[in-house]
Chain A
């Protein structure tokens, strides 16, 4: 988990969620790539981040793409954040005794249905073998996880509007990775609201 480096954070706001990651790919101390994004879309309401071993980032991404496509074909509807989380969890548990070295973070908005007309924004995280946690505030993972916990705990407050949530998650990520030698080298933030997703690349320290 400490080979390639990288961190992801997700936060809940008022009718929106945000998910952000750094862009570093390294080999222990040496930085190799500064364009290695770790957050991927399932659709325009659901994103997930995969910090950890880089080869597993790609493998898991392709594996999930297959599974979500099968779901879409069979169910003829988009997968919800909660169901996707459970799908990810069982994918990881299948490899219980030879796991993927990834601690995923999921962030998304559930579309309203007659049974659930006012769904809350959803984030979740899990360990390398798929134990799910569904926090109400923020989810962190990666080599800067400890630092992310600290900054997020200090900066997060409930019911942040999308623009404020952007500032909060950006400062959380930037300042946490600046204390981690294996994360950084750029950052990308996605703010997901019901009508659009705004993706911004942050101007970060490149050391």
Chain B
């Protein structure tokens, strides 16, 4: 069991790409909303600023990936294949719980080699919308809402204080958008734009919030030190 008393952000191999990230999924009556930022970093270089971290597993099952980009892509590909085989063999879509169990098995059995934090979410006819959080050790936790990635640590308080049961789709989307915006603001490894997916019985609807339309919160007023008689100017980018 490797060191559990301190965080080792250099755990990735040299040059390996990191999905230092903010991801979340929230269940509502009728389905789930999943969301993620779009930043992939190699050290402090932003290798991809428009990443899609919401990965298709099955028609109504998606997962959000955080940790090593390579590890999570590999695991998601395997589970995607298992889900297709399930459909061929059993004739219907796998429940979200089954997909989550497949993820859990891979993440737990290979826990020493992998650096993967995954949130599985979707809709199935047995359970309706459900969210499963599979953090680093490979444990599986079904929750009404789950957050993950390096940016999630900054928004636990916000989520605890804001979440309410019984929201509709629109209120849930707004909750995800605000939470991710806050995490992306504070966490250096998260940023870019917000990608969201609303998954219900009838549809999988993708939403995109570009960087300049992110909700903005308190950013402070004055600049300390230096010479700042200046005015705020928007430079067209």
Quick one: CB contact mask for A1-13 with B, threshold 8 Å, 1 for yes? 0100100000000
Q: How far is the CA of A40 from the CA of B225 in the complex (A)?
A: 7
Within A142-159, the residues touching B (CB, 8 Å) are 143, 146-147
Distance in angstroms between the alpha carbons of A190 and B223 in the assembled complex: 14
Interface size on B, residues (CB 8 A): 41
Given A30-B187, A40-B225, 8 more A-B residue pairs with CB atoms under 8 Å apart are: A31-B187, A61-B225, A182-B44, A188-B226, A200-B231, A200-B233, A201-B223, A207-B190
Fill in one digit per residue for B59-100: 1 if any A CB lies within 8 Å of its CB, else 0.
000000000000000000000000000000000000000000
Interface hit among B126-134, B171-179, B211-219: B211-219
Q: How far is the CA of A143 from the CA of B190 in the complex (A)?
A: 17
B218 to chain A, nearest CB (A): 10
**Inter-chain CB contacts under 8 Å: number:** 122
Interface residues of B (CB under 8 A from A): 9, 20, 37, 39, 41, 44-46, 49, 150, 154, 184-192, 211, 214, 216, 219-235, 237
What B residues does A35 contact at CB under 8 A? 220-224
Question: Which residue of the partner chain B has the closest CB to A207?
Answer: B191
> Is the beta-carbon distance between B228 and A37 smaller than 8 angstroms?
yes
Residue of B with least CB distance to A179: B46
- A40 cross-chain contacts in B, Cβ below 8 A: 225-227
9 contacts between A and B (CB under 8 A): A34-B219, A34-B220, A35-B220, A36-B224, A39-B227, A174-B235, A197-B227, A202-B232, A203-B235
A55 located at the interface, meaning its Cβ lies under 8 Å from any Cβ of chain B in the complex? no
A24 → chain B closest CB, angstroms: 8
CB of A44, distance to nearest CB on chain B (Å): 8
Residues of A within 8 A of B223 (CB): 23, 35, 37, 186, 188, 201
**Inter-subunit contact B45/A179 (CB<8 Å):** yes
Q: How far is the CB of A168 from chain B (nearest CB, A)?
A: 10
The reply to whether B237 and A171 contact each other, CB–CB distance below 8 Å, is: yes
Interface SS, B side: loop
Which residue of B214, B216, B229 is within 8 Å of A199 (Cβ)? B229
* Minimum CB–CB distance for A161 against chain B, Å: 16
Q: How far is the CB of A202 from chain B (nearest CB, A)?
A: 5
Whether A190 contacts B188 by the Cβ 8 Å rule is: no
In the complex, chain A residues whose CB is within 8 Å of the CB of B190: 207
Cα-based distance from A164 to B215 in the complex (angstroms): 31
For A56, the chain B residues whose CB sits under 8 A away are: none
- Bound together, the chains give a CA A2 to CA B188 distance in angstroms of 12
Say yes or no: is A14 at the interface (Cβ < 8 Å to chain B).
Answer: no
In the complex formed, the residue of A with least CB distance to B237 is: A174
In the complex, which residue of chain A has the Cβ closest to the Cβ of B181?
A: A207
Verify if A167 is at the interface (C-beta below 8 Å from B). Answer: yes
Residues of B within 8 A of A38 (CB): 226
Name the A residues within 8 Å of B41 (CB-CB). 181
Whether a CB of chain B sits under 8 angstroms from the CB of A118 is no
Taking CB atoms, residues of chain B closer than 8 Å to A202 are: 232-235
